[in-house]
Structure 1
Amino acid sequence: MLRLLLLQVLASCLWLGHSEVVTSFESCPEFFYAGTTPNNGLNPKNPAWICQRFRNQYHYATLYDRDNRIPVYSAYKYEPGDVKKPPEWWLVEPQLIDKNLNLKEMEWDRVLIEQHEISPDKIKESQAVPDDYKGLKGLDRGHLCPNGHMKTSDSKMATFTLTNIVPQDSSLNNGKWRTYEHQKMMGKTKDCNSTYVVTGAVPGKTKVSKDRVNRPSHIWSAACCLGEDTEPKDAWGAIAENNRNRVELLSLGDLEKRLTDLYGETVTLFNNACPRKQSSHSH
């Protein structure tokens, strides 16, 4: 009887969308312009939809590829703040381990091991762990949602979860991609009332860390800028091969076409109101 009651309670919780790794982003639609998520063209075989929750608050949303152990994309509102960067304490996602754990937010792996008696091997089955990124040559832990685009200490800290990280070419991460994330985004958003961003990684043909973690072939990002009337007035994209220090800036429409070729499925990243045309150039 008790078991039946527990199942009913669990079912009602799932129905209400309280479980944070769910089958949609129904708990956190606010990170997508007009609540419109990218279409299914990006979906991997074994996806997890994560409303990234830290200290009892949502900070951004991530579609995670369980098989490749990297995020497909992270979606967020661009709200850079001048709070200093937090220490790099890397978090993992308990709900990927077992949705019945009833741990609704990201956590440090040592807490899961010491306080919840979850074995390191059990954590490793479902996702990348800090050890996967130790000693990688020429590769960094590349954020899809960067801490520099977040406003508060908690939201910056929330970006340091391995469900938001891919193995990114070090020269790109510290070079042109950083320039895009900080200088270009600041310039392009100066007349925007608010800006929605989706940043992703195209799975590559190689894996690192004993074949556990996919090394993406490309890193990409798209933005939709809203004016004073909260209507989209501009949109753009950026893409980089993940083995060289070069970023190409292009229109949202051209980025969607490029991703359609790379993924082999039609890709749309934003609500149709976001403009698809714009002059393209690279730097």
Structure 2
Amino acid sequence: MLGLLLLQVFASCLWLGHSEVVTSFESCPQFFYAHHYPNDVLHPQNPAWICQHYRNQNHYATLYDRQKRIPVYSAYIYQPGNGTESPVSFVEPQLISQTYAKKMDTEESVEDQYNINLELISQSQAIKEDYNKLQDLECCPLSPSGHQSGNSNKWATATLTNIVPQNRALRQGSWKHYEETTMPQKTQGCDTTYVITGAVPGNSSISNGRVNVPSHIWSAACCLVDTNPTRAWGAIAENDKDEVEHLMLGELESWLAELYGGRMVNLFNNACPRE
């Protein structure tokens, strides 16, 4: 018994510095301007707050809906640059059990390491198989690799806790234009840009009802010059049309409030301009 206890203590030390599932974002506040988190209007019934770590480094933060198996939003700092795309996708072991290692890993590695099957992994989160037979949909990372710099930052976006099913035409059309063209234009002159990108749960699903298909995809950004927020903006798209609405931050928050039942939505610290 003592040997088992010592082994558990030793294992807990090895877990430090890896991807961390917590009950708040207190372990990774740096991805939110002034450590201000979106209010609880967006919280699902069964949430997981994930500090997304990979190779012992923080990369972004995700609020995950365990029941619908999609992220509610991912928050990150916009820092595009060179690097390669990840050749593999990851899952989060700690969503399976709090006793499992706090790091992103592949499904195969998790199965081998803990001697479990894919069915057990799939109970807590989406798996690769859920996205194998998409029709008119594509995988959409809320924190996209194109907004990150360096291999580790880019590879960390390949976890399935950061992925939602997005309309293929939108993914390859207007949303791609927003990510790759509009964001570089809007962030010119910004020293730091904080971004929160999210998905509104919809009424349809894929993979025999396992994974929700969002009704809307949205994104918000707050631009800082030195340490002062000078401007902010938002974008939202219905997930069955190739069209993106460009908004002021306040307009986006009002739109989200309607989609979430009328309660006020607050995404950023009040210093970020709403108009």
TM over 0.5: yes
2:97 alignment counterpart: 98
Q: Give runs of aligned pairs for residues 213-252 of structure 1, distance below 5 A.
A: 213-228=211-226, 230-252=227-249
1:243 match: secondary structure: coil
Contact 1:17 1:26 survives alignment (8 Å)? no
Cα distance in 2 for partners of 1:77, 1:4 equals: 41
How far residue 82 of structure 1 moved from its aligned partner, in angstroms, is: 1.9
Identify the range of structure 1 (77-86 vs 65-74) with the bigger mean alpha-carbon deviation.
77-86
2:84 alignment counterpart: 84
How far residue 86 of structure 1 moved from its aligned partner, in angstroms, is: 3.3
1:189 alignment counterpart: 187
How far residue 84 of structure 1 moved from its aligned partner, in angstroms, is: 3.3
TM-score normalised by length of structure 2: 0.93
Cα distance in 2 for partners of 1:82, 1:153 equals: 8
How far residue 116 of structure 1 moved from its aligned partner, in angstroms, is: 2.4
Instruction: Give per-residue Cα distances to partners, 1:142-195, cap 9 Å, x unaligned.
Output: 110000000110110000010000000000011100000110000000110010
Cα distance in 1 for partners of 2:240, 2:169 equals: 8
2:255 alignment counterpart: 258
How far residue 73 of structure 1 moved from its aligned partner, in angstroms, is: 0.1
Cα distance in 1 for partners of 2:18, 2:172 equals: 38
Q: Using a 3 Å threshold, how does the CA distance of structure 1 residues 17 and 257 change in structure 2: closer, same or farther?
A: farther
Percent identity over paired residues: 58
Cα distance in 1 for partners of 2:3, 2:255 equals: 50
2:182 match: secondary structure: helix
Counterpart residue type for residue 221 of structure 2 = A
Cα distance in 2 for partners of 1:257, 1:167 equals: 24
Contact 2:17 2:56 survives alignment (8 Å)? no
1:53 alignment counterpart: 53
Counterpart residue type for residue 262 of structure 1 = L
Contact 1:92 1:106 survives alignment (8 Å)? yes
Counterpart residue type for residue 59 of structure 1 = H
Instruction: Give per-residue Cα distances to partners, 1:118-165, cap 9 Å, x unaligned.
Output: 211110000000000001100001110000000110110000010000
Counterpart residue type for residue 220 of structure 2 = A
Instruction: Give per-residue Cα distances to partners, 1:68-118, cap 9 Å, x unaligned.
Output: 00000000000001223332x1100001000111x1111000001123212
Contact 1:256 1:269 survives alignment (8 Å)? yes
Q: Using a 3 Å threshold, how does the CA distance of structure 1 residues 174 and 18 change in structure 2: closer, same or farther?
A: closer
2:199 match: secondary structure: strand
Instruction: Give per-residue Cα distances to partners, 1:34-59, cap 9 Å, x unaligned.
Output: 11110101000000000001111110
Cα distance in 2 for partners of 1:72, 1:40 equals: 11
Q: Give runs of aligned pairs for residues 113-152 of structure 1, distance below 5 A.
A: 113-152=111-150
How far residue 267 of structure 1 moved from its aligned partner, in angstroms, is: 0.9
1:281 alignment counterpart: none
How far residue 4 of structure 1 moved from its aligned partner, in angstroms, is: 11
Contact 1:139 1:168 survives alignment (8 Å)? yes
2:123 match: secondary structure: helix
How far residue 5 of structure 1 moved from its aligned partner, in angstroms, is: 6.6
Cα distance in 1 for partners of 2:112, 2:274 equals: 50
Q: Using a 3 Å threshold, how does the CA distance of structure 1 residues 275 and 4 change in structure 2: closer, same or farther?
A: farther
Cα distance in 2 for partners of 1:86, 1:20 equals: 20
Q: Using a 3 Å threshold, how does the CA distance of structure 1 residues 104 and 17 change in structure 2: closer, same or farther?
A: closer
For the aligned residue pairs, the C-alpha RMSD in angstroms reads 2.1
